[in-house]
Amino acid sequence: GAVVSQHPSWVICKSGTSVKIECRSLDFQATTMFWYRQFPKQSLMLMATSNEGSKATYEQGVEKDKFLINHASLTLSTLTVTSAHPEDSSFYICSASKLDRDQPQHFGDGTRLSIL
Amino acid sequence: QKEVEQNSGPLSVPEGAIASLNCTYSDRGSQSFFWYRQYSGKSPELIMSIYSNGDKEDGRFTAQLNKASQYVSLLIRDSQPSDSATYLCAVNRSGGYQKVTFGTGTKLQVIP
């Protein structure tokens, strides 16, 4: 199997707080993990590619200081939304691929973030 | 031209019919191709992977790949209302390690 666990599944917090989302590959090692954001009725938007032991690669238009990514081990990547505001409310999804080339991405269940 | 193109739909088919979902891609050197299903409010779920030309069958699902035409499709036989979802086509671009591009998805509605 290829199970990706993502926590928490939903978060409601006040504007200005920081929120950390964890993504774990449970039964395989993932040198690369991906973070996506999806607004209602819209397609997946890749935010960044997270590489174990190195800095994340952010997509154009994504603020590095706003969305902090850490990939501390081959099974764990975290996304921290700093000083969150209502416009950051969205569905955040992580994915991970096995080490071999051409392997598909396996997605976590996603985190629904609501900023009041 | 988008890297991966899908008709957004909705594609409506009656229960029991064959649903045909199509996807075209622009990078001729693409190596691997995937179909995901995404229910509303949920994350994508991998259905099929296909790497070589031809058909690949898994239960009611058949993926078809034609690299010469840069075309990949997903057929769903005996469509069920539970198949109603958005189907995402994903393509691993050539020359890159795990550089997958997703299409915007086709919404499928299976009418009981």
Q: Which of B23, B106, B99 is nearest to A59 (CA)?
A: B99
Count interface pairs A-B at CB distance under 8 A.
Answer: 46
How do residues A64-116 score in pLDDT, each as one tens digit? 999 999 988 889 999 999 999 999 999 999 999 876 667 889 999 999 999 99
Tokens of A78: 């975290």
Q: Give residue B51's pLDDT.
A: 93
% of chain B with per-residue pLDDT over 90: 82
Task: Tell me what the pLDDT averaged over chain A comes to.
Answer: 92
**DSSP string across B5-60:** E-----EEEETTSPEEEEEEES-TT--EEEEEEE-TTS--EEEEEE-SSEEEEETT
CB A53 within 8 A of CB A71: yes
How do residues B25-48 score in pLDDT, each as one tens digit? 998 888 899 999 999 999 999 999
Q: Give residue B96's pLDDT.
A: 53
Q: Which of A46, A52, A51, A84 is nearest to A65 (CA)?
A: A84
Q: Decide if pLDDT at B97 tops 80.
A: no
Residue B52 burial (CB count, 10 A): 10
Identify any residues that bridge with A87 across adjacent strands, giving them in sequence order.
Answer: none
3-state secondary structure of B83: helix
The dihedral of CA B23, A93, A99, B3: what is its sign? positive
Contacts of B37 in chain A (CB under 8 A): none
The dihedral of CA B29, B96, B87, A28: what is its sign? positive
> Greater confidence, A41 or B95?
A41
Give mean pLDDT, residues B51-63.
Answer: 97
The dihedral of CA A61, B42, A69, A31: what is its sign? negative
Question: Could you give the CA distance from residue B27 to residue B97 in angstroms, rounded to a whole number?
Answer: 15
- Distance set, CA B89 to CA A49, A69, B4, B24, B49 (Å): 19, 26, 8, 9, 10
Alpha-carbon distance B80 to nearest alpha carbon in chain A (angstroms): 22
Residue of B27, B36, B43 best to disrupt the A interface, most CBs of A under 10 A: B43
Cβ within 8 Å, pair B90-A104: yes
A71 at B interface, C-beta within 8 A: no
Contacts of A97 in chain B (CB under 8 A): 98
Alpha-carbon distance A113 to nearest alpha carbon in chain B (angstroms): 12
A102 at B interface, C-beta within 8 A: yes
Give mean pLDDT, residues B79-83.
Answer: 98
